[in-house]
Structure 1
Amino acid sequence: MARCAETGMFGLAISSSSPAVAARCAFARAGVGAVCSQNVTDPSLGPLALDLMQGGMSASEAIAGVRDLGRFIEYRQVLAVDKQGRTAIHSGPNSLGIWTDAQAENVASGGNLLANDGVPQAIVDGFLGASGHIGDRLIAAMRAGLAAGGEAGPIHSAGMMIVDDVSWPVAELRCDWTEDCPIEAIATAWDVYKPQLRDYVTRALDPRSAPSYGVPGDE
């Protein structure tokens, strides 16, 4: 998960051997931050951390609040990035398999059931080494993590979420189950969606100024 220092966008990408991982683990709020709640997941911790940051807490203060308020926190991994690009991570001692995390300014990564303990750092390095739209950088980060070993077993689901200056995600792409590579499925969806992203925002805000919908019968 990451913040774009140039645009203020927040985004996150995630993959897992479990189905529909992004539906349970991915949370972001425009102007506030991004949060991943993972490993024996408690989805309520994502909105909790975002509420704490929206109330004025930093990422580290919000993660401390999650530790205080969350249940069975020793089983959870929770990662946060705030509007200043500060990051914080909680990885409970009962996280599964090989687990670890890595972080830098504007980006943080964590994982469990990993092939090796270098995967999160590879993801961070992949993000920092890429350029362009935050979505492009998130895809580069996930590919870097996969190249470094990824999860110990096959992955079946993935997702990517991006928020900008409206109350809903400007991109929320998911592959909830596949026997192929879900990260590449998300990458393909992003290639299609990226050129249309702003059009969908315009259509929501003012359909009178929206470009052609590109469907049969539309002029």
Structure 2
Amino acid sequence: MLRKLLPFFAALLLFGRPAAQAQSIYSATDPLAHTFSIVARDPKTGEMAVAVQSHWFSVGTSVSWGEAGVGVVATQSFTNKSFGLRGLALLKSGKSAQQALDELLAADEAREVRQVAILDNQGRVATHTGKKCVDMAGHQQGAQFSVQANMMLNATVWGAMAKAYEANAALPLAERVLAALDAAQAAGGDIRGRQSAALLVVRGTTTEGPWADRLVDLRVDDADRPLVELRRLLKLHRAYDHMNAGDLAVEKNDMPTAIQEYQAAEKMFPQNLEMKYWHAITLANKQQVPAALALLKPIFRQEPNWRVLTERLPKVGLLTVSPAELKQILALK
């Protein structure tokens, strides 16, 4: 029913135009991502982030866009998804955030129902809140960040976001932008409620491995408390950062660092058996079988399939213990 009404709703918003004319301006396939979001850059690391929550399914697939070494874009309200890729392309061509935004809006007849924020790799921000965005709507810019919101319960939301972001300067960028989203929700948030959220953090400069340039890329597409779930996922992401650091330390034969990193990960998620398991396998491969046995025993008790997996590892070189040591491991009760 909502989709059927979109052309008429668009007509009402777009200066009283007839519905048939409004259809050419607003596409019924575009998402109604009325929401609050933040774009920001960490001046110390150069990292750039865009984070969002909305009462709309899978908001991260519509609102948040970013590219390492280029910038980030949040496009919302009556969302023009093309603003994401086109905005980044304009930044990549050498345009400033404001120049990119001006060019996007100049070509868009529906600019007054759009809300857009662009941040470039120098920390310059440009923001637009159309006159026909649903109240309460507004934005606020600060040093290398912008917060923006529409269809909010009240007009304090974006101010609360800015205040929270500025008050948490000591946090890593990902945690800092989440603090802004939490503040928005606490101030009233989306008048319709909440459903999905997303967080994207990209490097300030590109590397030879583009797959590593997205430092954090997390989405909660449908949840009762999406920000709570997004924080849980970010914590899990940080734990696996420790696991990866431990693996790198093993490659360098730096066992004290490896153990420290593995333990840090396990402390964050003590219920995660896989973290403990690969820690144990690493210890076994480094001739620390007694320590490995101590970790593996409760794992095998809780989930017998890990024992079955252990039998398969020597064949592919992932477990390099002697036959006698393997027998000892598999005999754990």
Q: What TM-score results when the alignment is normalised by the length of structure 2?
A: 0.59
- Superposed, 1:122-201 pairs within 5 Å as 122-130=160-168, 131-164=170-203, 165-166=206-207, 167-168=210-211, 169-178=214-223, 180-197=224-241
- Superposed, 1:19-168 pairs within 5 Å as 19-130=57-168, 131-164=170-203, 165-166=206-207, 167-168=210-211
Distance in 2 separating the partners of 1:171 and 1:191: 11
Cα distance change of structure 1 residues 197 and 28 upon mapping to structure 2, 3 Å threshold = farther
User: Does the 8 Å contact 1:170/1:197 carry over to 2?
Assistant: no
Q: Aligned-pair distance for 1:195? A: 3.4
Q: Which amino acid aligns with 2:219?
A: R
Stretches of 4+ moved more than 6 A in 1? 198-201
Distance in 2 separating the partners of 1:26 and 1:71: 22
Q: Residue by residue, what CA displacement relative to the aligned partner does 1:11-62 show, whole Å, maximum 9, x if unpaired?
A: 1110111111111110011111110010111111011111111111111111
Distance in 1 separating the partners of 2:244 and 2:145: 27
Q: Residue by residue, what CA displacement relative to the aligned partner does 1:57-102 show, whole Å, maximum 9, x if unpaired?
A: 1111111111123352222111011111111101111212311111
SS of residue matched to 1:109: strand
Distance in 1 separating the partners of 2:229 and 2:89: 31
Q: How many residues align structurally? A: 213
Quick one: percent identity of the two aligned structures? 26
Q: Aligned-pair distance for 1:4? A: 0.7
SS of residue matched to 1:152: coil
Which range moves more in the overlay, 158-167 or 57-66? 158-167
Distance in 1 separating the partners of 2:219 and 2:133: 24
Distance in 1 separating the partners of 2:189 and 2:125: 22
Q: Which amino acid aligns with 1:184?
A: V
Distance in 2 separating the partners of 1:198 and 1:55: 37
Q: Which amino acid aligns with 2:136?
A: I
SS of residue matched to 1:14: strand
Q: Which amino acid aligns with 1:9?
A: E
Q: Which amino acid aligns with 1:78?
A: V
Distance in 1 separating the partners of 2:244 and 2:180: 25
User: Does the 8 Å contact 1:33/1:81 carry over to 2?
Assistant: yes
More helix by percentage: 2
User: Does the 8 Å contact 1:103/1:121 carry over to 2?
Assistant: no
CA RMSD between the two structures: 2.4
SS of residue matched to 1:170: strand
Q: Which of structures 1 and 2 has the larger relative contact order (alpha carbons within 8 angstroms, sep 6+)?
A: 1
Which range moves more in the overlay, 91-100 or 3-12? 91-100
Distance in 2 separating the partners of 1:40 and 1:198: 40
